[in-house]
């Protein structure tokens, strides 16, 4: 959303740092780490994503992990996407009961595993927690939340959505993937991090008041760790205000995203099935080639992006993940398309292979 270097945001961050320092409030939320500003941020976040209540978390990864841990007992069953983010996988690993994975975004596999989970839950007397990402951060695909919501008519489960990449960027108001697909009400527990569209640190969960009240007394990463620092809370309030009151930011983001993605596709690049601002570019090449390529892209073409190689993706494949923002321009997108065309030519002509072999010697 272009907030990282926004002058208003930088000003609030600096003033809050000067006012509060980096220590306040000391302590965990249930002891001395709770303030009126934390409560204000929670009210505004809940209203923004159309939920009754919200709870601010100190970190995204451990927040998601420990929310899963708090939501289930050994008698409950978890059903989750096989390609879920590491924080979801680690949260499920903590679970002492049964868990089933379904094939990535495969509705038939979802239903098959819900049937298995239902039989298991009938034996244990527990419930079912179904977990999906709103946007899968590596590939950019949206989770099939609409189809999952339909499955609620046949099976009894609660839906937990990690919407780290959807929050702020998708939906009419920016409330995320659930709003984009028209099923926000079907999401029982909504999670998003401040690290993506908010360009900060922290996260939050949102749900019915009863669920949030339960979680605040049971989520261990908040009960036994320092609460989110005050300057980050003030900064998050400002960021949320700008996302809420300046819809043109999201419009600019999507202008750049659409230009970039369409331009890359026209040049013959494989972007997979992305349905979000996350722009993956798949190339064929080895890990040594990838290392030389990404350095060339950064130092000689001025384009910085994440690089993903085996074992995250198959051998002899390179994934370059581009993250356009509202602060980028169409000219930036043009330069990026030209840069990717140039590095692809070098890759296909064996230049990176020869350079990587030279470096290895």
Q: What is the pLDDT of residues 253-287, one digit of tens each?
A: 999 999 999 999 999 999 999 999 999 999 999 88
Report yes or no on 92 lying in a domain.
yes
pLDDT at 361: 59
Q: Are residues 319 and 292 in the same domain?
A: yes
Residues 234-258 have a mean pLDDT of 95
pLDDT-above-90 percentage for the chain:
83
Residues 274 and 193 in one domain: no
Same domain for 133 and 94: yes
Task: Give the model's pLDDT for residue 360.
Answer: 59
| Cα(175)–Cα(184) distance, integer angstroms | 9
139 or 147: which carries more pLDDT confidence? Answer: 147
Query: Does the residue 68 lie in any domain?
Result: yes
User: What is the count of structural domains for the chain?
Assistant: 2
Q: What is the pLDDT of residue 311?
A: 82
DSSP state of 263: H
pLDDT above 70 for 148: yes
Residue 121 lies in a domain: yes
The whole domain housing 291 covers 248-360
- For residues 252 and 238, state if they share a domain: no
Is the same domain home to 85 and 187? yes
- The structure tokens listed for 148 are 């999952």
Give percent of the chain with pLDDT exceeding 70: 99
> Which token pair is 247?
């819809």
Q: Are 206 and 60 a contacting pair, CB within 8 Å?
A: no
Same domain flag for 240 and 252: no
Residue 26 above 90 pLDDT? Answer: no
Check residue 334 and give its pLDDT.
Answer: 96
Residues 46 and 168 placed together within one structural domain of the fold:
yes
What integer pLDDT is reported at residue 223 of this predicted model?
A: 87
Task: Please indicate, yes or no, if residue 1 is contained in any of the structural domains.
Answer: no
Whether 229 and 282 map to the same domain: the answer is no
User: So what's the pLDDT on residue 314?
Assistant: 82
Q: What is the mean pLDDT of residues 145-165?
A: 97
Q: What is the mean pLDDT of residues 195-205?
A: 94
Within a 10 A sphere around the Cβ of 172, how many other Cβ atoms?
A: 10
Is the bond leading into 348 cis (omega within 30 degrees of zero)? no
**Residue 43 forms part of a structural domain:** yes
Of 208, 230, 245, the domain-final residue: 245
Residue 288 shares a structural domain with residue 198: no
pLDDT of residue 201: 93
Residue 271: Cβ within 10 Å count: 18
Indicate which CATH number applies to the domain containing 352. Answer: 3.90.1150.10
Reported as a pLDDT band with limits 50, 70 and 90, residue 329 is very high
pLDDT of residue 306: 85
Distance (Å, rounded) from C-alpha 269 to C-alpha 192? Answer: 30
44-67 average pLDDT score: 95
Q: Which of 245, 272, 292 is the last residue of a domain?
A: 245
C-alpha distance from residue 285 to each of 86, 296, 313 (Å) = 25, 15, 12
Q: Are residues 44 and 64 in the same domain?
A: yes
pTM for the predicted model, two decimal places: 0.93
Nearest Cα to Cα of residue 69 among 172, 219, 278: 219
Residue 301 has pLDDT above 80, yes or no: yes
- Report how many helices (DSSP H) and strands (DSSP E) the chain contains, helices first: 14, 10
Lowest mean pLDDT among 174-183, 281-290, 307-316, 320-329: 307-316
- The mean pLDDT of the chain is 93
* CA angle 147–67–207, rounded 5-degree value: 60
In this prediction, residues 93-100 reach a mean pLDDT of 94
Q: Is the dihedral of CA 239, 240, 246, 248 positive or negative?
A: positive
Together in a domain, 43 and 180: yes
For the segment 203-228, the average pLDDT, to the nearest whole number, is 93
Q: Is the pLDDT of residue 315 over 70?
A: yes
Residues 181 and 44 in one domain: yes
Residue 295 pLDDT > 90 = yes
Task: pLDDT band for 309, please (50, 70, 90 cuts).
Answer: confident
């Amino acid at each position: 959303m272009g907030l990282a270097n926004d002058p208003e945001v930088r000003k609030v961050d600096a003033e809050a740092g000067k006012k509060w320092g980096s220590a306040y409030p000391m302590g965990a939320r249930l002891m001395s780490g709770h303030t009126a500003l934390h409560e204000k941020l929670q009210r505004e976040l809940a209203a923004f994503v159309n939920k009754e209540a919200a709870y601010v978390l100190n970190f995204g990864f451990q927040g998601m992990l420990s929310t899963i841990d708090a939501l289930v007992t050994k008698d409950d069953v978890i059903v989750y996407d096989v390609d879920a983010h590491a924080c979801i996988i680690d949260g499920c690993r903590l679970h002492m009961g049964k868990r089933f994975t379904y094939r990535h975004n495969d509705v038939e596999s979802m239903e098959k595993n819900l049937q298995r989970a239902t039989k298991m839950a009938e034996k244990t007397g527990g419930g079912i927690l179904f977990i999906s990402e709103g946007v899968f951060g590596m590939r950019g695909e949206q989770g099939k939340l609409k189809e999952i919501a339909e499955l609620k008519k046949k099976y009894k489960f609660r839906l937990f959505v990690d919407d780290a990449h959807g929050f702020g960027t998708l939906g009419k108001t920016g409330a995320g993937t659930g709003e984009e697909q028209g099923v926000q009400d079907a999401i029982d527990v909504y999670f998003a991090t401040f690290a993506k569209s908010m360009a900060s640190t922290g996260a939050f969960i949102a749900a019915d008041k009863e669920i949030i009240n339960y979680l605040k007394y049971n989520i261990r990463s908040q009960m036994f760790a320092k609460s989110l620092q005050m300057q980050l809370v003030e900064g998050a309030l400002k960021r949320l205000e700008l996302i809420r009151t300046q819809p043109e930011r999201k419009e600019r983001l999507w202008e750049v995203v659409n230009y970039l993605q369409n331009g890359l596709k026209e040049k013959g690049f494989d972007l997979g099935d992305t349905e979000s601002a996350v722009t993956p570019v798949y190339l064929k090449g080895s890990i040594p080639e990838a290392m030389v390529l990404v350095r060339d892209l950064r130092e000689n073409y001025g384009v910085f992006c994440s690089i993903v190689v085996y074992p995250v993706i198959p051998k002899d494949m390179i994934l370059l993940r581009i993250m356009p923002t509202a602060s980028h321009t169409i000219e930036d997108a043009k330069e990026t398309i030209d840069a990717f065309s140039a590095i692809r030519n070098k890759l296909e002509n064996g230049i990176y292979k020869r350079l990587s072999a030279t470096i290895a010697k």
